[in-house]
Amino acid sequence: MTDRVRVRRLAAGAEPPPLHPELDVFRAPERQAEALADIAGDPRGVVWIAEADGATVGYAAFHPPGEVETWGEDRTGALIELGAIEVAPSVRGERLAERLLEAAFADGAFDDTVVFATQYVWHYDLARTGLRPFAYKRLLERLYGKAGLRSTPTSDPEIRSDAANALMVRIGPAAPEEVVREFHRLRTRFPDRFG
């Protein structure tokens, strides 16, 4: 299948090809397609898709952090969240997630900021992978590590609520010091819970 899969950036204002029916970890495929189109339409949003036979079989979505989380209090407006990466189970094992991340970081688009990913056990596809939470966490750490993201301690109570959760971070080589400082302020803003 890998030979037939094309990885490309979703253009602003465009809708992705129909999502594979198994792309349902975060929400129903139809609703996820709408969310991806919204993210691609955001001036700071970026969506990369893996496409095969006229269907989206994987995606990676980058966007400004949501207001309901700690990271949404970013005073610089420069932080970017790797909000989701998902590959249809029928094409897993073909390095599509790795290819999506390689493409997203290849052009230096995120070199001037901090990209972070919050990994929550309740988003892990444990049932279909057969993995236990810590094995899934390690899988994500290896995958994200190939794109330069590193596991980073945090005092964020939601991330610390389960030991299988994680914060993965890539500080771009040209990230302004004020953006890096703001990220660290948010990462450690709950000092009584920092371990």
Q: Do β-strands 55-63 and 46-52 pair in parallel, antiparallel, or remain unpaired?
A: antiparallel
Task: List the CATH number of the domain containing 45.
Answer: 3.40.630.30
Number of domains comprising the chain: 1
Q: What is the pLDDT of residues 136-192, one digit of tens each?
A: 999 999 999 999 999 999 999 999 999 999 999 999 999 999 999 999 999 998 876
Range of the domain at 69: 2-193
Residue with tokens 């029916």: 21
CA pseudo-torsion sign 30, 35, 38, 39:
negative
Whether this prediction's pTM lies above 0.85 is answered by yes
Kindly state the average pLDDT of the residues 69-87.
Answer: 94
